[in-house]
A = this chain, B = another copy of it.
Amino acid sequence: MIVPNPIPDAARRLAATHATLLPEHKPAGTRGVILEVALKLFAEHGYAGASIREIADGAGMRPASLYAHYPSKEHILAELCRIGHEEHRRSIQAALLECGADPRDQVVAYVHAHVAMHAQFSMLAVVANGELHALSSQLGAATFELRNQSIQALMDIVQRGVERGVFNVPDVWLAVAAIGAMGMRVAYWYTPEYELGAHRVAEIYAQYALRVLGAPES
């Protein structure tokens, strides 16, 4: 018997088949269309594996016309990476502002937002996390800054919980890395058709995170 794999086509890089970009994520008009087409292509084939010609084709225009909206292919990737990490940071910060001072509640809030974002905007997460290396340090600087802030937020929560004796881990950074990794991977297999729904997956992963930290549900 084979594992009940939620990924329909194992040869795909990720399970999602549609790009999800909210209106508040993208610029209006043609720039937004280009961004959405590029997001799907970058997610499925990688930045290097997707061409300007394919993006133009998907956006219903000629390759040359793209350059009226973006100065280069790399600029399109840079905007996608920034949008992804901004959405990530925004949703985490919003959750943390509502959850109170208990480190357990903070971990639940953080991981829930982290996982839900990777499920709901899976293509954005795959590109923003997995194609960042293709950016020059100049075009990637804003994104790196956002990423460091999000990581640091979880480090601070876990460190504080350890100091208060609420959490118990052999290594704080390793625990943060493990919890982050669980959530990041969700972007590769989640689809809106998955039986449990993004919210429930996020809930369960928040529970797993508490367990990793040695603070199981009360």
- Chain A interface residues toward B at CB < 8 A: 1-6, 10-13, 44-49, 130, 132-135, 137, 140, 144, 147-148, 151-152, 155, 170-171, 173-178, 180-182, 184-186, 189, 196, 201, 204-205, 207-208, 211-212, 214, 216
CB pair B173–A6 under 8 Å, yes or no, is: yes
Instruction: Report the separation of the CA atoms of residues A152 and B4 in the bound assembly, to the nearest whole angstrom.
Output: 9
* Nearest CB in chain B: distance from A166 CB, A: 15
Copies in the complex: 2
Partner among B151, B184, B212 whose Cβ is within 8 Å of the Cβ of A185: B184
Contact indicator A2/B148 (Cβ below 8 Å): yes
Decide if the interface of chain A is mainly helix, strand, loop or mixed. Answer: helix
Q: Indicate whether A196 sits within 8 Å of B212 (C-beta atoms), given known contacts A46-B46, A137-B11, A185-B177.
A: no
Which residues does chain B contribute within 8 Å of A181, judged by CB atoms?
181-182, 184-186
Contact with A48, one of B46, B152, B174 (Cβ below 8 angstroms): B46
Known A-B contacts A178-B182, A216-B214; A204 and B171 likewise in contact (beta carbons under 8 Å):
yes
